[in-house]
Structure 1
Amino acid sequence: MKSGIASVSIPRPRTRQREATRRQLVEAGLRVVAEHGFAGATTAAIARATGKAHGTVFVHFATRDALVEALVAEVGQAMSQRLSALPADTCGVGEVMDAHLLALGEHEVLYARLLCEATTLPLSARARVFALQSAVGSRLRQALARDVGRGVVRAMDPVALTNLWIALTNHYLMNRDLFAPGASVVTLRGAELKSQLLALLQP
């Protein structure tokens, strides 16, 4: 006779240890990328950063490409979370820009590295970058339609708006040493970038 009590799956110690080790490798990889770029994020360098044997990396990631893809996914996670936290039916263009800038600022060095080295990354990792930017564009286009409907901004080609915003933020991040030497370009220039784009939308 069944008790009717739903069974609860409890992770086994070995599973928890495996997940913890994988997390350590990803976090070490992000530190290595921030300091040396993706080119310097070799499996050996990441293993050294965790104090683990080189072979441990391949227990969790079959290839270096798989590891790089996991690092790219980690960089994009904060942005995805910020965008998904926005009210789906009420946020405007300015709010989408704020969320995007906040996410960029949280991982600015890593995201700048990602942009500068994108062409050297595995195709799977580059696809993740494209998907991330597409997600930002999608939220911007939705917000633009709402703001136009409210009469708070003028109509504009939504694709052009998306391209301008992505190109502008990417340009500043890729040249952060020029626009904000020794500081955060998002902190110093973010409000300026936002105001430039919103000025184009003034009725």
Structure 2
Amino acid sequence: MNKPTARQIKKEQTKTLLLNTAFDLFSSQGFLGTRMSDIAKAAGVSHGTVFLHFNTQEEFIAEVVNHFCNKIALRTHKLSESSSSLKDLLSAHLDAISEYEAFYTRLVIENRMLSQEVRDTFIIAQSAISLHFSKVLEKIDTSSFSPALLFNMWIGLIHHYLLNGDIFAPEESVIAAYKATLTETFSSLLMQQNNKM
């Protein structure tokens, strides 16, 4: 295999810089509140340099969402490998989100206003996480519930708290403030319902 040239290395470093800069700005200003020129300026590159790496703004946003949602999914995967219970898996999922909480929250808030490509990327990342969820549910008797419905309920609960972070945890991490409550309550409700069946 050929060794990358200095130019190729520099190009890859610039792309990584752009992705990380966009992540920071999207986390703090939102996707819709951040212009490509803002990212270029914060990264210390020309506006045209951004378009050397990404053809359109939508493609750039999709790449950033894909990159960081994959990190969340991979982190959930790593943390959940040793999960023996639903509560452990839920906790691992929240730990993975918490590492990117501001970005993830912005994505949840602005998702419906972003391009279909970005929304599809977000859904694919959620699907990867739902696979782990289903595997853990196989160990528990949840035959009276659809795993997809249970996963959607879990995601809906998390998203509700993140969307209303100003109410639930003003000026602090929603995940840090509610991780134990969310995991314990969700898993307890599921277990109680199963016991009634």
Would you say the 8 A contact 1:33–1:113 is kept in 2?
yes
Q: Does 1:182 align with 2:171?
A: yes
Say whether 1:30 aligns with 2:23: yes
Partner in structure 2 of residue 163 of structure 1? 152
Unaligned runs of 5+ in 1: 1-7, 149-153
Q: Does the Cα contact within 8 Å between 1:156 and 1:201 map onto a contact in 2?
A: no
Q: CA deviation at 1:161?
A: 1.4
Equivalent position SS for 2:140: helix
Q: Do residues 87 (structure 1) and 81 (structure 2) align?
A: yes
Please state how far the C-alpha of 1:79 moved relative to its aligned partner: 1.5
Secondary structure of residue in 2 paired with 1:40: coil
- Give the superposition deviation at 1:159: 2.5
* Distance (Å, rounded) in 2 between the aligned partners of 1:16 and 1:123: 32
TM-score (norm 2): 0.90
Q: Are positions 1:124 and 2:117 aligned together?
A: yes
State the Cα distance separating 1:185 from its structure 2 match. Answer: 0.5
Unaligned runs of 5+ in 2: none
Distance in 1 (CA, whole Å) between partners of 2:139 and 2:58 is 40
Runs of 4+ in structure 1 deviating by more than 3 angstroms, as ranges, are none
Match of 2:161 among 164, 172, 178: 172
| CA displacement, residues 13-72 of structure 1 (integer Å, 9 cap, x when unaligned) | 111000000011111111111121001221111111111111000000010011100111
Does 1 or 2 have the higher relative contact order (CA < 8 Å, sep 6+)?
2
Over the aligned positions, Cα root-mean-square deviation in angstroms equals: 1.6
**Which residue of structure 2 aligns with residue 201 of structure 1?**
190
Matching residue within 73, 79, 92 for 2:66: 73
1:57-101 CA-to-partner distances (Å, cap 9, x unmatched) read 00000100111001111221222112332338x643222212210
TM-score by length of 1: 0.87
1:40 match: 33
What amino acid is aligned across from residue 186 of structure 1 in structure 2?
I
Higher Rg = 1
Letter in 2 for 1:13: A
Aligned positions, number: 190
- Cα displacement (A) at 1:115: 0.4
